[in-house]
Structure 1
């Protein structure tokens, strides 16, 4: 590895599986000290144990991103363990399928609470720490579903669109402090969400024909985009959307 984030301290949410697990691995492999957060601490412990057995600096914490108090604790642990944060990856997210009329209040509140409010709480809690580090990079995981529409997933679409908009606002506000804020917009990635849709008998695999690269992405491919935005390789990028979708929205 090339040490592209050597000496930096990162906090990654939703780290027990999928894109979050890939992100903590890639960041740690490239030299970062990583605080890995997830609501499923038992599952996260297993992922982190494998990384620490390889000599990587990763610490697991239980974190419900929809809980502002949990964020305060996460920042405190990060600074006590490794020092001020310079990287935040707001990855935790959930997907629910109902459309407009079918989305009840509980589904709306749950999806918006994690996907949208969780990103806001994370930025609000971590920015003072990044300021203490002298600057850094925030990467918010949005989605191509925050750019284009589909026939389902009203709350998901709404929340991911909000993440993109919040990203741009924060980029404008904190750019003068050398705090960069960008989003990654994944397409269809082989994660637990896709596996669940597949197990429910959905025709998810048929969507590959609409992707120019004719396949779904991998979690590690998204993590490589996160690494780019976390590193100094993207030092003149802020308020940007990094679309990683195999070209899917290019033909919408």
Structure 2
């Protein structure tokens, strides 16, 4: 029960990594507000997690919208009154190179992967500060640290998230709010399934990942539990890289 008495908001809660984080959090005693665009999958996840006995609420929301975050804040006020942990996990992939990324697609990826993180922190930080502190966990990527040769907008968003995280970590340390990023490597999720079905991409990641296999969503979730718990009370502004050794080369 490493997260007992904590209220956590998890965005992108029904995806591979988001679902794993939600499962690990509730098993460790956290109360949850699950955020996603897919209402059916949210309701199914709520039912799946109900046997663990923690309070679980769901809300359908587009995290790139300020209005949606105001609705999330209202939900926190009505159902929990406070928030201790925010996991900004919602995101979309983007495989296009720079010249293949038109203006509309650029804005879509930046808003979903970066602006949503700003909005989440902007709306929930005051409540977190008022409760005496907390932990913000932003799901970034190894491609915030190294170039991929593609993924122009995605890489820009994830790199921007890393910089935003470090700035917020310094600004709000005095308020006992910790802000960190997790950087997954190749993790087997529904979002990466299509990539791994392409022989050239599969071969590339096989070659560049020293560990003999790819990661699983639970590998990221265990890291999120650590960063959400009081065990990491002196950890802020850092990057937790979970990638099987990819970026060490």
Query: What's the TM-score once normalised by structure 1's chain length?
Result: 0.95
Distance 1:45 1:53 in 2: 14
> Structure 1 unaligned runs (5+)?
none
> Structure 2 unaligned runs (5+)?
none
Q: 1:181 aligns with which of 179, 182, 195?
A: 179
Q: Deviations over 1:124-176 (max 9, x none)?
A: 01101101211000001111100000121100000000000000000011000
Q: 2:19 aligns with which of 10, 18, 21?
A: 21
Q: Which residue of 1 aligns with 2:56?
A: 58
Q: Which residue of 2 aligns with 1:225?
A: 223
3-state DSSP class of the match of 1:22?
helix
Q: 1:154 aligns with which of 141, 152, 155?
A: 152
Structure 1 position 80, deviation (Å): 1.8
Structure 1 position 24, deviation (Å): 0.9
Q: 2:244 aligns with which of 240, 243, 246?
A: 246
The answer to whether structure 1 residue 114 and structure 2 residue 112 are counterparts is yes
Q: Which residue of 1 aligns with 2:4?
A: 6
Q: Which residue of 2 aligns with 1:41?
A: 39
Q: Any conservation in 2 of the 1:184–1:243 contact (CA below 8 Å)?
A: yes
State the aligned residue count.
248
Distance 1:4 1:185 in 2: 22
- Supply the RMSD in Å over aligned alpha carbons: 1.2
Q: Any conservation in 1 of the 2:26–2:52 contact (CA below 8 Å)?
A: no
Structure 1 position 203, deviation (Å): 2.9
Structure 1 position 33, deviation (Å): 0.3
Q: Which residue of 2 aligns with 1:212?
A: 210
Q: Which residue of 1 aligns with 2:136?
A: 138
Distance 2:124 2:201 in 1: 36
Query: What's the TM-score once normalised by structure 2's chain length?
Result: 0.96
3-state DSSP class of the match of 2:98?
coil
Structure 1 position 216, deviation (Å): 1.1
Structure 1 position 202, deviation (Å): 4.9
